[in-house]
Amino acid sequence: MLTQAQNDLLTRTGPGTPCGEFLRSYWQPIAASEEIPPGGDPLPIRIMSEDLVLFRDDKDRLGLIQRNCPHRGTDLSYGRIEDGGIRCLYHGWLFDVNGKCIDQPAEKRKFCDTVPMKSYPVQEKGGAIWTYMGKGEPPMIPDFQFLVGPEANRQTFRTLQTCNWLQGLESVIDPAHTTYLHRRPKGTRSIRSGNDVNAMRGTAPPEVTTEPTSFGMRIYALHEGGSNGKYLRINNYVYPCGATPTTGNAGSGYQGRWYVPADDGSHYYFEFIYKNAQPVDKDALRKFREENVAPDMRHVRRAENRYMQDRIEMKGPDGTFCGMGEYFPAQDAFAIETQGVIRDRTTENLGSTDIVIASMFRTLLKAIQQMQDGKEAPGLVRDKNYLSDFVCFEGPIAETEDGPSQCRKLLAAKTAAE
Ligand code: FES
Ligand SMILES: [Fe+2]
């Protein structure tokens, strides 16, 4: 449970807010690269209550600048790409990728050099375009495998969810819901990962523990007593709004997720789907997504159609738990969007598996306090881009092992391999 003040602190992310400053201290993904290929159209971007436009100029350089023209406010995302920049449709002012005004064709006495324009640096990595909106020297975007692994093994998407960013982040580190919300008929496999998503079904609730790491927080969920023997998942919370859920079966892969506020009532959910040692089936992933995400970037299943819940689908041994089809992200969207736009965390009744959520809140509050005390945000990668203590795992483990001992083995193997 949080106090009202703490809930406000963690959910308000506009310019100048403490949480907004915290989130702005790291690079944030703003679009999937596929959304703006070379020669592609400008994209309106809303991030942390700021309206921007992402565009490629006629040399395919990327720029991110304020959306409203500094002349009289017309939306630049409708602009023309020409002459080394983006040209406003109203009076033809032209801006380059750094936001510099380079032409004012309708002006007798030009004053390009004194036109103020907000712009932010951009970088492409892991199939996404990222921006840094913080103060001072930007850190690096960490070299997670799901960002730097072979391109064929990765696929990146973004989707809009109509609730506060923190609800999205909570849902991905929640260790208990998979067995319920996402339960599918016995023996079936996830369409997206190909893995057995029922691996933990029928086991006792997991023993959940967390520990701090250089990049955020490690989360152990240990299931015992099922047909798999001891079954462990190591997921991670990653500063400032990311996580790395596993997708079943040790070694096959995992996902990076980022939950980036559009404003305080909606957020973009980035999926960095990744396989360690094999290509992902991009065509199948894109097709499955196209069937489930509408052109407005929201899930086809949404509150307006009651998430198309089908109660017949829920019946019998072959039924799903929630009656909302096969697309897990839409099921998660149902769970978090129906909590309310900003969930009231002052009246919750938390249980044993919710210690993960509570630990994450403490981690976030500590990070924000650290910044309010005048220090740098935690976990910024500045020198060596290597996360020596990062590990992600899911699978059966030996009876003699537990979460931390398995983690130490995996980290030792990782060090030996490098
Ligand atoms: S409003 Fe953009 S050029 Fe006038
Ligand atoms: Fe989920």
Instruction: Please state, in angstroms and rounded to a whole number, the distance separating the CA atoms of residues 382 and 376.
Output: 12
How many Cα atoms within 13 Å fall on the side-chain side of residue 240? 31
Q: Is residue 119 part of a domain?
A: yes
Across 224-240, average pLDDT: 85
Ligand 1, atom 4: closest residue by C-alpha: 91
Compute the average pLDDT of residues 328-339.
97
Alpha helices (H) along 124-245: 145-148, 165-173
Do both 110 and 149 map to the same domain? no
- Domain assignment present for residue 189? The answer is yes
> Per the domain annotation, does 357 fall within a domain?
yes
Six-digit token pair at 158?
């973004």
303 DSSP assignment: G
CA-based R_g, the chain, Å:
22
pLDDT number for residue 250: 47
In this structure, are 109 and 160 located in the same domain? no
Instruction: Say yes or no: 189 and 52 in one domain.
Output: no
Tell me how far apart the alpha carbons of residues 191 and 330 are, in angstroms, rounded to a whole number: 14
* Same domain, residue pair 189 and 47: no
pLDDT 10s digits, 72-95 = 999 999 999 999 999 999 999 999
**Is 2 part of any domain?**
no
Q: Which of 65, 66, 71 to mutate to test the pocket of ligand 1 (most atoms within 8 A of CB)?
A: 71
Ligand 1 atom with the shortest distance to the CA of 73: 1
- Taking CA atoms only, the protein residue closest to ligand 1 atom 1 is 72
Q: Rounded CA gap, 174 and 163, in Å?
A: 17
Do residues 69 and 179 share a domain? no
Give the end of a domain, one of 131, 157, 190. Answer: 131
- Name beta bridge partners: 231: 223, 396
CA of 168, nearest ligand number: 2
pLDDT category of residue 391 using cuts at 50, 70 and 90 = very high
Span 376-397, average pLDDT: 91
Name residue 246's amino acid: T
Does residue 49 fall inside a structural domain?
A: yes
Q: Tell me: pLDDT of 251 over 90.
A: no
What per-residue confidence (pLDDT) applies to 225?
67
CB–CB of 355/206 below 8 Å?
no
CA 325 vs CA 62, 296, 306, 349: distances in Å: 38, 20, 13, 29
Do 370 and 298 fall into the same domain? yes
Contact 26, 139 (CB under 8 A): yes
Q: Is the pLDDT of residue 318 over 50?
A: yes
Atom of ligand 1 nearest to the CA of 93: 3
pLDDT category of residue 195 using cuts at 50, 70 and 90: low
Domain check: are 121 and 205 in the same one? no
Residues 123 and 164 reside in one and the same domain: no
- CA-based end-to-end distance of the chain: 42
Q: What's phi and psi for 183, nearest 5 deg?
A: -60, 135
CA–CA distance, 252 with 250 (Å, rounded to integer): 6
Residues 290 and 331 in one domain: yes
Mean pLDDT, the chain, integer: 92
In ligand 1, the atom with minimum distance to the C-alpha of 69 is 2
Query: Which of 98, 131, 164 delimits the end of a domain?
Result: 131
Instruction: Give yes or no: residues 270 and 123 share one domain.
Output: no
**Residues 159, 412: Cα–Cα separation, whole Å:** 36
Q: How far is CA 176 from the centre of its chain?
A: 20
Q: How far is Cα 176 from Cα 181, in angstroms, rounded to an integer?
A: 9
**Which atom of ligand 1 sits closest to the CA of residue 92?**
3
Q: Are residues 102 and 189 in the same domain?
A: no
Q: Which of 131, 161, 184 is the last residue of a domain?
A: 131
Looking at the structure of the chain, the number of domains it has is 2
Bridge partners (DSSP) of residue 299 are: 293
CATH code: domain of residue 411: 3.90.380
Confidence class for position 394, pLDDT limits 50, 70, 90: confident
The answer, yes or no, to whether residue 131 has pLDDT greater than 60, is yes
45-69 pLDDT, tens digit per residue, is 999 999 999 999 999 999 999 999 9
Ligand nearest to C-alpha 180 = 2
Measuring CA to CA, which residue among 29, 75, 2, 7 is closest to residue 264?
A: 7
Ligand 1 environment, Cβ below 6 A: 69, 71-72, 74, 88, 90-91, 93
Identify residue 52 by its one-letter amino acid code: L
CA of 75 to the centre of ligand 1 (A): 9
Å from CA of 55 to ligand 1 middle: 17
Assess if residue 338 is contained within a domain.
yes
Residue 70 buriedness (CB in 10 A; 0-12 / 13-18 / 19+) = middle
**Structural domain includes residue 41:** yes
Q: The domain spanning residue 87 has which CATH number?
A: 2.102.10.10
Query: Any idea which of 4-13, 118-127, 274-283 has the lowest mean pLDDT?
Result: 274-283
Specify whether the CB–CB gap between 98 and 63 falls below 8 A.
Answer: yes
More confident of the two residues 196 and 235? 235
Q: How far apart are CA 404 and CA 409, in angstroms?
A: 9
Residue 234, pLDDT > 50, answer yes
Judge if pTM exceeds 0.75. yes
8 belongs to a structural domain: no
Q: Is residue 301 helix, strand or coil?
A: coil
Residues 201 and 336 in one domain: yes
* Parent domain of 62: 28-131
